[in-house]
Amino acid sequence: MKHFMHLIASITVLIILSGCLPTSVIDDVLIIEAEGVDYIGGNKVIGTVTMPNYVQSSNPGSSGAGLPTTASMIRYLSGTTYDGKSLVDRFQENGQRALRAGKLRVMLFNKGLAKHGLRKQIDLRNRDPEAPREMNLAIVDGSCKKLLTAIDYQTQIPIARYIQDMIEQNNKQNYPESTLESFLYAYYGDYMDPFLPVIRKSGDHLETIGLALFKSDKYVMELPSNKVFIFKMLFQKFDQGVYDFEFASQKHIALKNVHTKVSYKVKNGNSTSPDIYAHVSINAQIIQAYPKSINKTMGPKIEKKIEKHMAAQAEKLVHMLQKKQIDPLQLGQHVRSHTRHFDGKSWYDRYPNAHFHCTVDTTIIQTGISD
Amino acid sequence: MFWIKKNNDPAQSKKSIAKFIDQMKTNPDFSHFHHEGKQFSCWISFIVTLVDLEYVHRDLLPALYSDRVHSIEDIAKVLPADKLIRTKNLSEIQSGILDGSLMIRESAHSKECLLIPCMKKQSRPVEQSETETSILGPHESFVESLETNINLIRSRIPIPQLKVEELRVGKISRTRVSVLYVEGIANKENINTVIQRISDLETISLISSNMLYLMISDNNHSIFPQFIDTERPDRVSGALYEGKIAVIVDGSPNALILPSTIVEFFSAFDDYSLVWMLASAYRLLRLFAIGFSVISSPLYVALLTYHYQLVPKDLLATLIVSRSSVPYDPIIEVLLLEIMIELLREAGARLPTKVGQTIGIVGGIVIGTASVQAGITSNILLIIIAMSALAAFITPNYRMATTIRLIRFPFIISAQLLGILGIALCFMICVCHLLKLTSLGHPYIEPIYPLRVTDLKDSFVRLPLNLQTQRPLFLRTGDKNRANPQRVNKKEGKHSPDIDE
Amino acid sequence: MYNKINPTHTIGPLSAFFLPQVMQIGIGFLSFQQIITKFSEQDGWLATLISGLSTLFVMWIILRLLENERHFGRPDIFSIHRRIFGPWIGNVLTFILMSHVLLFSFAFLRSYIEILQVWIFPQLNSFTFSIIFCCIVWYIVMGGLRTISGVCLLSFIYLIPLFILSIFIVPHAHYENLMPLFDHTPLSIMRSCYETTHDYLGFELILYFYPFISQPEKARKWAFRGVLTTIYIYTTILLLGIIYFSQGEMQNTIWPTITYWKSVRFPLFEHVDIIAIVILLWVLIPNICLCSWILARGIKFTFPAIKMKHSLIGILVVLITITCMVKNGLQVRTINNIYNGFGFIIIYFYLPLLLFCQWIKKKIGRQSA
């Protein structure tokens, strides 16, 4: 009995001692949802953070409660700082309450910063145990600050949610998956380069306009929206994209792919000009076609046309990437995995000379309910 | 613990019958008179309130007064009664009279006497079980009379191997305690332990089986009940068939089942009247309910105080909005509501049934909504607390339900101190305590540790009865098998016709 | 002095499965991918496999050692040392081995506190945490080996969801990371093997509690199964790590396992890493419990006057003190390196040597007789 009392007493004392951990009560902190960084030259940036403010819409029952006691009063903070500075620390002194980055949804960089290099920003995020890995990154054509703080959107729903939802649903369709996770994979990995979607504010809404391709951490070029399908097709398997094919001038056919799969083969991986063979198979459905352009007999003919066209597009794309010396398709990684004792050091010299061969195998499995 | 002290037992100080009678005479319900007959005269004494007066007047006294009786020996031949005792032993006489016997002596000074048992037991009839209700199973429940209770069990176990051992507990009360077991199945060591523990008790009085439970449990500092107490005779007889031991105390309407493991507290007897899939599903549901009940409000405190990262993005908005008018920290909010629910429960239990129900409804609805509208608790919390209160009462055993309701308070406090880590530490202490706990010397969390796969068949899930051919291993029963597994399963496999055959 | 062990204190043969197994699964598996793949990149899994199979062999040596000893007395390392080397040298050797056990528990506790501080509570005071923790350890060890083995079993059960959790990263897998197979020199793979030792250590503690296992014939089989399970777990986790991270990213990540838990997302909660780290408390507790039990037992063996009850408190105080003396992550890593080297020597050199000595002793004994 005495033992018990002693034990209980000592544990109580200890627990009280340990009870000085700093809390972050859910409604007493400002939860940052989006960060935007604009480069203004000279290693200086304008940082912007937004946090949602959940002001309770008048609760029918709580007439006696008066104004919500804990609602936050600010929606965003913005200011200049140096590149690579943690924005949480930078704006803490302006914040109404403690800022927390644990629920960050999106991080935006403007093109200027992307050209300058994202090295410091990425290191910051990779070091932070709180930052979720499924957070989305994006490049903004224009100013991040304007995009995040504009008040002329159609609704007043926090903009971070809009951006994230937009990127996420694009990732399911034509755009290749781009989260912090995949960016870090390509950024730190050897023989590959990362990419990010490019977004832009257009009037009272946002739009995704293409894919920004990087050389390590530096922005190199932008892939326009209509080439992204080809890119994704060579990058990963997916099942929801839409490809618009102009088979003759002013005559379009749109394919909604039910399934694409890509496989790579490599020959002579250690020679000066390795041969890379990509084979793509597409199971597609036609959702839109120029009137009378397709029927049961013409199916195989169209298939052939599409195959030829896509293979040519793919080879053109890779050729362009080779010219720019960037490898967002992770071809180097494929060559490495197919080559024994892969010579990694000379790879960057050999990459532009590599021969890329692409074959596409399209099957139209459905043309809709009318002929 | 005052009853353990050896104080002077008043019963021992009186030395003779005369003194005992003198002492009793002061009571108005003690009847002591001299009968003068033609052939035979004697002194008759009994306690009016204890004996069956009708029986005495209709059968006993006419027999005594009849002419055939010449001496005290003749009474035995004449009387239509069994179990007559002739004795000189004072303590036997004393307990006989106090149990409701009629004493007959030849003269006021003779030491020898005849005791005729004619006790009248006030007892209510067998009624529906109240704390452990069942929908499909039998509805009988124990009553306060030991005889009736044993009758209920014996009628379910009609074999000579069912042993009933009677012990007397309490220096003064001398309460009758019966230990029941099936000889040949129940482990001998267990029986000896139980009998030894009960007969070693140093106590003055024993009012109910709950007191006995508290005194013979392995660790009486533990908040976990170590033996099942049940008011259902079917459950007791089921346990006896398994090789367990039942203890019934005169005057209390429930039996203790020893030894028990923790999983048994979460199995209702109804489980055995359902198909095994349904029974297993409901057992799992109960398990989930217990986990939910213990962990939900501490988790609320931990998440809202420290780990906002864990809350999904879309839920975050809901939570913040519902808390936006609450001025307190989550811990205060939770404690407030938890204590309110505890109060409601306690008030409901103490008040008469009908008022209690009203209190439950009024309290639950009115206070709950009012506190949300007044802005001292958030409505999400109200849902969580109400659900966890509901979940706690899913436990079929009342004792366990109380434990579960109480155990969340240390969890809430440690969640406030160290967040999820605190909950984990508290859980760990709890589990380690369970690991060390024993019931009659057997490990308390038995099918889990020590790991016995055969016993798992009737723990968290209840597998079909044809797989349950073995008695629980931890009981070390005299006969391991309930039924011959080959023969049980042969019946099914005997004839398996092809499609449309 | 060597009174028989009361059968009520023995543990079943199944504990030979999960006791060594739980001892092996330590904090190491959170970070071992980085260290192993440093030298052998995508072929790192080969190293865990080789190293694991070699522990299987060491397990055989240990069991052989103990079974031989059964003819002479109680089959544990204390009696072996005393019988072969005499009381003085024997006790010194026992203490050297026990210092490794102390190092084990200490390195473990400190690494865990480091993880807590990095991932959940940067402000957590290591002193208070270790005191609360050691109170629980005290409470468990007071219950004897039976309770400890119960904790081990529960730890095994609670860890299953954590390993299942790792499967959620399969959709993010890049299988080409595994190719080409066997593309590294044996030397680099051996270096990885050496680094893997750290994670496999712990099974040798069976040397101390073997006499408590009832039905040792059955137990032996379970002991090997336990080691095989560990090999399986480690190899899978490493494989998952390799296909999830690119090599460059892996070298940049200190705790790859936690990082990939971080990307698991459930509808009910996010940031699974925090929950996983908290569940890891269950990995820690059996380790520290068994270690302090072993230490207390060793002290009692050498100085029979000291009761285990009393020495246990001393051991925990020492543990808390040295835990608080370590200040930063760098020191933690140094300690882990010392522990690794020390353990490597013990299991691959000292134990075979001991078996040899035992054999010699037997030969001499037979000749003299």
* pLDDT per residue as tens digits for the range C71-92: 887 888 888 888 888 888 989 9
Q: Does B303 lie in the same domain as B205?
A: no
| Residues of chain A found within 8 Å of residue B308, distances taken between Cβ atoms | 24, 26, 29, 31, 100, 102-103
| Residues of chain B found within 8 Å of residue C157, distances taken between Cβ atoms | 448
Cβ–Cβ gap C247/A190 under 8 Å? yes
Give the highest mean pLDDT range of A174-178, B362-366, B473-477: A174-178
pLDDT of residue B150: 92
List all residues 6 or more positions away from B464 whose beta carbon is below 8 Å from its beta carbon.
B276
Strand pairing category for A251-267 and A242-248? antiparallel
**pLDDT tier for residue B1 given thresholds of 50, 70 and 90:** very low
As a whole number, mean pLDDT of residues B146-160 equals: 91
Residue-number span of the structural domain to which A331 is assigned: 237-371
Cβ–Cβ gap A56/B321 under 8 Å? yes
* pLDDT per residue as tens digits for the range A278-295: 999 998 888 888 887 777
Looking at the complex, report in whole angstroms how far the Cα of residue C18 sits from the nearest Cα belonging to chain A.
30
Q: Does B366 lie in the same domain as B303?
A: yes
* CB-defined contacts A:B, below 8 A: 94
Does residue A18 fall inside a structural domain? no
The single-letter code of the amino acid at C82 is R
As a whole number, mean pLDDT of residues B13-30 equals: 77
> How large a percentage of chain C has pLDDT more than 90?
23
Instruction: Tell me which residue in B306, B431, B451 faces C14 most closely, judged by beta carbons.
Output: B451
Q: How far apart are CA B136 and CA B188, in angstroms?
A: 34
The overall average pLDDT reported for chain B is 84
Q: How far apart are CA B21 and CA B30, in angstroms?
A: 9
Q: Does A36 lie in the same domain as A134?
A: yes
Please check whether residue A230 is in contact with residue A310, taking contact to mean a CB–CB distance below 8 angstroms: yes
pLDDT of residue A56: 54
How many other CB atoms are found less than 10 A from the CB of residue A119? 14
User: Within an 8 Å CB–CB cutoff, is residue C121 touching chain A?
Assistant: yes
Does residue A59 fall inside a structural domain? no
Q: Which of A210-214, A269-273, B256-260, B433-437 has the lowest mean pLDDT?
A: A269-273
Q: Does A326 lie in the same domain as A248?
A: yes
* pLDDT per residue as tens digits for the range A41-54: 888 999 999 988 77
Cβ–Cβ gap A25/B374 under 8 Å? no
**Side-by-side strand order, sheet with A355-366:** A242-248, A251-267, A275-289, A355-366
Q: List Cβ<8 Å contacts ≥24 apart for C80-86.
A: C80/C354, C80/C358, C83/C361, C84/C354, C84/C357, C84/C358, C84/C361, C85/C357
* pLDDT per residue as tens digits for the range A180-194: 989 999 999 888 899
Q: Which of A21, A73, A135, A163 to mutate to test the interface with B (most CBs of B within 10 A)?
A: A21
Q: Does B232 lie in the same domain as B163?
A: yes
Is pLDDT at B487 greater than 80 in this prediction?
no
Q: Which of B325, B333, B381, B412 to mutate to test the interface with A (most CBs of A within 10 A)?
A: B325
Does residue A89 fall inside a structural domain? yes
Return the DSSP state at A157. Answer: S
Under an 8 Å CB criterion, which residues of B touch C?
306-307, 309-313, 418-421, 423-425, 428-429, 431-433, 435-436, 443, 445, 448-451
Q: How far apart are CA A99 and CA A130, in angstroms?
A: 12
* pLDDT per residue as tens digits for the range B305-350: 998 888 888 888 888 888 877 888 899 999 988 998 888 888 887 8
Cβ–Cβ gap A23/B306 under 8 Å? yes
| Residues of chain A found within 8 Å of residue C270, distances taken between Cβ atoms | 132
pLDDT of residue B4: 44
pLDDT of residue C204: 87
How much is the ipTM here?
A: 0.91
pLDDT of residue B448: 84
| Residues of chain A found within 8 Å of residue C183, distances taken between Cβ atoms | 340-342
pLDDT of residue A269: 82
Q: Half-sphere exposure (CA, 13 Å, Cβ side) for C294? A: 31
Instruction: Tell me which residue in C140, C271, C274 faces B432 most closely, judged by beta carbons.
Output: C140
Looking at the complex, report in whole angstroms how far the Cα of residue C132 sits from the nearest Cα belonging to chain B.
9
Q: Which of B260, B286, B321 is the last residue of a domain?
A: B260
Instruction: Tell me which residue in C123, C249, C273 faces A184 most closely, judged by beta carbons.
Output: C249
Q: Work out how many domains chain A is built from and give that number.
A: 2
**pLDDT tier for residue B418 given thresholds of 50, 70 and 90:** confident
Does residue A64 fall inside a structural domain? no
Residue-number span of the structural domain to which C279 is assigned: 7-362
Q: Work out how many domains chain C is built from and give that number.
A: 1
Does residue A8 fall inside a structural domain? no
Looking at the complex, report in whole angstroms how far the Cα of residue B316 sits from the nearest Cα belonging to chain C.
11
Q: List Cβ<8 Å contacts ≥24 apart for A268-271.
A: A269/A335, A269/A336, A269/A338, A269/A339, A269/A342, A270/A339, A270/A341, A270/A342, A270/A343, A271/A350
Counted residue by residue, chain C has a size of 369
Does residue C367 fall inside a structural domain? no
Under an 8 Å CB criterion, which residues of A touch C?
7, 10-11, 14-15, 17-18, 20-22, 102, 126, 129, 132-134, 181-182, 184-190, 192, 264, 333-334, 337-342
Q: How far apart are CA B199 and CA B177, in angstroms?
A: 10
User: Within an 8 Å CB–CB cutoff, is residue C280 touching chain B?
Assistant: no
* pLDDT per residue as tens digits for the range C212-243: 888 888 888 899 999 999 999 999 999 988 98
Cβ–Cβ gap A26/B319 under 8 Å? yes
Instruction: Tell me which residue in A18, A25, A27 faces B418 most closely, judged by beta carbons.
Output: A18
pLDDT of residue A57: 53
Cβ–Cβ gap B307/C274 under 8 Å? yes
Q: Which of A172, A197, A226 is the last residue of a domain?
A: A226
Q: Does A36 lie in the same domain as A165?
A: yes
Query: Higher pLDDT residue, B226 or B498?
Result: B226
Query: Higher pLDDT residue, B82 or C284?
Result: C284
How many other CB atoms are found less than 10 A from the CB of residue A152? 8
Return the DSSP state at B93. Answer: H
Q: What is the CATH number of the domain that holds C222?
A: 1.20.1740.10
Does residue B468 fall inside a structural domain? no
Q: Please give the structure tokens belonging to residue A237.
A: 């398997």
> How large a percentage of chain A has pLDDT more than 70?
90
> How large a percentage of chain B has pLDDT more than 70?
95
Q: Which of A226, A252, A280 is the last residue of a domain?
A: A226
Does residue B478 fall inside a structural domain? no
Q: Which of A226-230, B115-119, B331-335 has the lowest mean pLDDT?
A: B115-119
Q: Does A278 lie in the same domain as A177?
A: no
* pLDDT per residue as tens digits for the range B196-221: 999 998 888 888 888 898 888 888 88
pLDDT of residue A279: 93
Q: Does B214 lie in the same domain as B90?
A: no
Q: How far apart are CA C90 and CA C86, in angstroms?
A: 6
Does residue B172 fall inside a structural domain? yes
Cβ–Cβ gap A68/B325 under 8 Å? yes
Is pLDDT at B476 greater than 60 in this prediction?
yes
As a whole number, mean pLDDT of residues B27-32 equals: 85
* pLDDT per residue as tens digits for the range C277-319: 999 998 899 999 999 999 999 999 888 888 888 999 999 999 9
Does residue C1 fall inside a structural domain? no
Q: What is the CATH number of the domain that holds A297?
A: 3.30.300.210
Q: Does A219 lie in the same domain as A245?
A: no
* pLDDT per residue as tens digits for the range A193-211: 999 999 999 888 899 999 9
Does residue C369 fall inside a structural domain? no
**pLDDT tier for residue A62 given thresholds of 50, 70 and 90:** very low
Cβ–Cβ gap B448/C154 under 8 Å? yes
Q: How far is CA A79 from CA A44, B84, C322, in A?
A: 10, 104, 46
The single-letter code of the amino acid at B39 is Q
Q: Work out how many domains chain B is built from and give that number.
A: 3
Exposed / middle / buried, residue C118 (Cβ in 10 Å: 0-12, 13-18, 19+):
middle
Does residue C179 fall inside a structural domain? yes
pLDDT of residue B376: 83
pLDDT of residue B221: 84
In C309-328, the residues whose Cβ lies within 8 Å of chain A are none
Query: Higher pLDDT residue, A37 or A69?
Result: A37
As a whole number, mean pLDDT of residues C255-281 equals: 86
Does residue C38 fall inside a structural domain? yes
Q: Which of A108-117, B469-478, C209-218 has the lowest mean pLDDT?
A: B469-478
Chain B neighbors (3+ CB pairs < 8 Å): A, C
Instruction: Tell me which residue in A1, A56, A100 faces B325 most closely, judged by beta carbons.
Output: A56
Instruction: Tell me which residue in A10, A133, A190 faces C262 most closely, judged by beta carbons.
Output: A133
Is pLDDT at B2 greater than 50 in this prediction?
no
| Residues of chain B found within 8 Å of residue A63, distances taken between Cβ atoms | 373
Instruction: Tell me which residue in A21, A188, A342 faces C246 most closely, judged by beta carbons.
Output: A188
* pLDDT per residue as tens digits for the range A12-36: 776 666 556 888 888 888 888 899 9
Does residue B494 fall inside a structural domain? no
As a whole number, mean pLDDT of residues B56-77 equals: 77
The overall average pLDDT reported for chain A is 85
